[in-house]
Amino acid sequence: MGKLYKFLKYSFITIWTVFVVAPFLWALTTSFKDFNSVNGGATYIPWVDFEPKLEGWKVLIKSPANGGVDIIEPYFNSLFVTCTASLISIVLGTLSAYALSRFTFKAGFVKNNDITFFFISQRIMPPIVLSIPFFLFLGAINLLDSLIGLIVVYIVLLMPIAVWIMVDFFNKVPREIDETALIDGCNPYQAFFKVVLPNSVPGLIVAGMFCIIFGWIDFFFAFILTFTEVQLLPVKIVALNSSITPWWSLSASALVSVAPLIIVAFIVERYLSKGNLSGAIK
Amino acid sequence: MSKIDLNNISHSYNPNDPNPVYALNPFSMTWENGKRYAILGPSGCGKTTMLNIVSGLVRPSAGNILFDDKDVTDLKTESRNIAQVFQFPVIYNTMSVYENLAFPLKCRDFSQSKIDERVKSVADTLNLQSFLNSPARKLTADQKQLISLGRGLVREDVAAVLMDEPLTVIDPDLKFRLRRKLKEINEEFKTTLVYVTHDQNEAMTFADNIIVMSEGEVVQAGTPKELFERPNTTFVGYFIGSPAMNLFETEASSNDSVKINDTIIKTNTNLTNLKDKKIKLGVRSEFIKIADNQKENLIDVDVDKVEDLGNYKLLTAKMGNFTIKSKINRETEVPSSNVKLHIPAEKCCVYENEKLI
């Protein structure tokens, strides 16, 4: 029984690992291939099956004048927009989530749960519904094709995620923690910043991770709200494609675009495995 | 350390409803400085609401609270200088044990040397010295509760320390020692302690005064002896004491006696106005003994069972429809038939509509 279980367990882990890692390895080898190595049948091992070339990578950093595509600027644009929008969403989202979790609001038939649902409903709605309003809105305030405009739009997209995760998280942080802080002599703001917030770091990390992922991978709004002045990475990568698909540079750009998420995943995994996400009291 | 007055306090969680439900019915009470109080009652009877009103976490729907004759009803929790310990350990996870204990002092801007001194002293009292630098979240549940308790005791000048079943999660041996420790602290520092519990033994051994509550009502407040010997209502008689008070549904047969089946039982209560009314006679099982040479107040019973409970025997007897319990000495032999039990007149409590006459 024990042996069979072990065998099945490790077989499953192996298969799963191959399943997850293979596309990355494929992209990695492809990024070093040239036209002939890609189109002349499947090749696998560098130096044996094909001669590695740096062409796929070089194109990414060359300026368009020299026949490249220059993804460096879009890369930093993406980083900047994602991080700023995530940060603002987390700050606003956490504050509203705390309010929704701890205080009772009532305006006619609208109560706390309805407000929370209103936030979440922004994510349930198909994004395309928002495209025309956003376009007209940004146009009206002269923020089309600008980083600030994108940040504003991304906050609308990301804050519901932060509110949703944090409301749930705060609901699980017992009220006694806040009450104890009050009894110990904090005012409600100190209770929030000194006691509740430090206890909520795991929730903040999860919410932050989701915001970063959803912000980073967004193509749709980046595509319709920017033109020439500002470009974000996903749009730029799609623009790499042409009648002859450049698999090598597409692979290379896919790898660099996924790199930040992998780094985030590793950091969060460290944190998760420390057990810091376990219950705050009892 | 203050005298706490509760004047006509009542509380409802839905006061604007046409039919508000009261978690706490109006009551008035004074908690003297430096005494130990236990609030005793079944779950959901309003004990915690009462504590939260005193600490300011809940604002009462009506009435006011005075600390040393100063009205604090509208004062926020953080300005009341009160300590409260909850049923389950509440610790600040991100801080060390030392920081946890120091937190109430830090929030109130005590000097570092004073903080050091107080934290050390509380840690000594609660045997937490060796953990002071460990992260609080790494401790076991009862150590965490000690931290909660320590945070409650670290300020010397608090108006009162309110404890909401604080020893529930602590194992029995430590529980016993802690209860004694709390008593010592109270005697040494004259801290007013208010202790909520549903365990009557805990209340009896701990408190100078016990407040018994039932369904949002303060039923009786008094010393353990008063509650035991003269319960105000049948509820108190039933809730306090183990086994519960013997209660007989009966009617008055003369000015001072009642009739159980055909036996006349004399009491020390004047029953002149209660003739032919439904009343209840209550007697503690501790006071009912097997008769030796008494002439009056004897009842004939059939022995149902005798249980040896270690330090005493519990005799369960039947008399018609009534079941009577009596605590007797271990050495006493119980005859198998013709048993007469004696009910002392001075220990009889008579209840009309469940209230003591």
Q: Which tens digit of pLDDT belongs to each residue from A48-89?
A: 888 888 888 888 888 777 777 888 999 999 999 999 999 999
- In this structure, the number of other CB atoms found within 10 A of the CB of residue B339 comes to 18
- Residue A274: pLDDT band (50, 70, 90) is low
Q: Are residues A94 and A37 in the same domain?
A: no
Three-class SS state of B243? coil
Q: Report pLDDT for A131.
A: 92
User: Which DSSP symbol is given to B288?
Assistant: -
Q: Shortest CB distance from B108 goes to which of A182, A185, A201?
A: A185
**Residue B207 · residue B38 · CB < 8 Å:** yes
Tell me the pairing of strands B4-12 and A110-111: unpaired
Closest-CA distance, B4 to chain A, in angstroms, reads 17
Three-class SS state of B300? strand
User: Which DSSP symbol is given to B208?
Assistant: S
A280 is a domain residue: no
Tens-digit pLDDT profile for residues A115-164: 999 998 988 889 899 999 999 999 999 999 999 999 999 999 999 999 99
| Residues of chain A neighbouring B102 (CB-CB closer than 8 A) | none
Q: Are residues A167 and A212 in the same domain?
A: yes
Q: Are residues A36 and A94 in the same domain?
A: no
DSSP H/E element including B53: helix B47-55
Rounded to 5 degrees, φ, ψ at B223 are -75, 160
| Residues of chain B neighbouring A169 (CB-CB closer than 8 A) | none
Tokens representing B353?
Answer: 């509509």
CA distances from A3 to A6, A8, A9 (A): 5, 9, 10
* Interchain pair A187, B89: CB under 8 A: no
Cβ-Cβ contacts under 8 Å for A146 (sequence gap 6 or more): A229, A230
Q: Tally C-beta pairs within 8 A across A and B.
A: 62
Separation between Cα atoms, residue B77 and residue B55, nearest integer Å: 6
* Interchain pair A179, B104: CB under 8 A: no
Q: Shortest CB distance from A280 goes to which of B84, B93, B108?
A: B93
Q: Are residues A120 and A188 in the same domain?
A: yes
Q: Are residues A21 and A89 in the same domain?
A: no
Q: Which residue reads 């039933």 in tokens?
A: B238
- Residue A273: pLDDT band (50, 70, 90) is low
Domains and CATH numbers, chain B: 4-235 (3.40.50.300), 245-356 (2.40.50.140)
CA distances from B52 to B103, B110, B208, B322 (A): 21, 26, 21, 42
Rounded to 5 degrees, φ, ψ at A242 are -150, -170
- What CATH number did the domain enclosing A211 receive? 1.10.3720.10
The residue-averaged pLDDT of A199-227 equals: 91
Q: Report pLDDT for A162.
A: 94
Tokens representing B173?
Answer: 């041996």
Q: Report pLDDT for A37.
A: 80
Q: A25, A53, A81: which is the final residue of a domain?
A: A53
A264 is a domain residue: yes
Q: Are residues A18 and A113 in the same domain?
A: no
**Burial, A265: exposed, middle or buried (Cβ in 10 Å; 0-12, 13-18, 19+)?**
middle
B118/A contact by beta carbon, under 8 A: no
B138/A contact by beta carbon, under 8 A: no
**Burial, B206: exposed, middle or buried (Cβ in 10 Å; 0-12, 13-18, 19+)?**
buried
Residue closest to A45 by CA, chosen among A23, A30, A56: A30
Three-class SS state of B41? coil
DSSP states along A131-184: HHHHHHHHHHTT-TTSHHHHHHHHHHHHHHHHHHHHHHHHHHS-HHHHHHHHHT
Tokens representing B144?
Answer: 């965490």
Q: Are residues A177 and A103 in the same domain?
A: yes
Q: Report pLDDT for B37.
A: 94
Q: Are residues A38 and A166 in the same domain?
A: no
Separation between Cα atoms, residue A83 and residue A215, nearest integer Å: 8
ipTM: 0.78
Q: Report pLDDT for A281.
A: 36
Interface test with B, best of A106, A176, A184, A195 (most B CBs within 10 A): A184
B103/A contact by beta carbon, under 8 A: yes
Measured CB to CB, residues of chain A less than 8 Å from chain B are 174, 176-177, 179-187, 190, 195, 198-199, 201, 280-282
The residue-averaged pLDDT of A22-47 equals: 85
Q: Report pLDDT for A53.
A: 86
Q: Are residues A48 and A102 in the same domain?
A: no
Q: Are residues A36 and A82 in the same domain?
A: no
Q: Shortest CB distance from A182 goes to which of B78, B88, B148?
A: B78
Q: Are residues A107 and A198 in the same domain?
A: yes
**Residue B33 · residue B192 · CB < 8 Å:** yes
Separation between Cα atoms, residue B151 and residue B101, nearest integer Å: 5
**Residue A211 · residue A161 · CB < 8 Å:** yes
- β-pair partners for B211: B39, B221
A121 is a domain residue: yes
Closest-CA distance, B86 to chain A, in angstroms, reads 8
Closest-CA distance, A117 to chain B, in angstroms, reads 25
**Residue A34 · residue A53 · CB < 8 Å:** yes
Which residue of chain B has the CA closest to A278? B137
pLDDT at A280 over 50: no
**Residue B286 · residue B341 · CB < 8 Å:** no
Split into its structural domains, chain A has a count of 2
From first to last of its 357 residues, chain B has per-residue pLDDT tens of 789 999 999 999 888 888 888 889 999 999 999 899 999 988 888 898 999 999 999 999 999 999 999 999 999 998 888 999 988 888 998 899 999 999 999 999 999 999 999 999 999 988 889 999 999 888 888 888 889 989 998 998 888 999 998 888 788 888 888 888 888 888 888 889 999 988 888 888 889 999 999 988 999 999 999 999 999 999 999 888 888 899 999 888 888 888 888 888 888 888 888 877 888 999 999 999 988 888 788 888 889 889 988 889 999 999 888 899 999 988 888 888 888 899 998 999 999 888 898
Strand ranges (E), B45-142? 62-67, 70-71, 83-85
* Interchain pair B78, A183: CB under 8 A: yes
A60 is a domain residue: no
- For A32, the domain range is 2-53
Q: Are residues A102 and A193 in the same domain?
A: yes
Q: Report pLDDT for B21.
A: 86
Three-class SS state of B277? coil
Tens-digit pLDDT profile for residues B209-264: 999 999 889 999 999 999 999 999 999 998 888 888 999 998 888 888 888 888 88
Residue closest to B103 by CA, chosen among B92, B117, B89: B92
Q: Shortest CB distance from A180 goes to which of B76, B90, B144?
A: B90
Residue closest to A78 by CA, chosen among A259, A265, A268, A242: A259
Three-class SS state of B319? strand
* Interchain pair B92, A190: CB under 8 A: no
Q: Shortest CB distance from A177 goes to which of B77, B83, B90?
A: B90
Cβ-Cβ contacts under 8 Å for B107 (sequence gap 6 or more): A184, A185, A186, A190, B78
Greatest Cα-to-Cα distance within chain A, rounded to the nearest angstrom: 75
* Interchain pair A174, B91: CB under 8 A: no
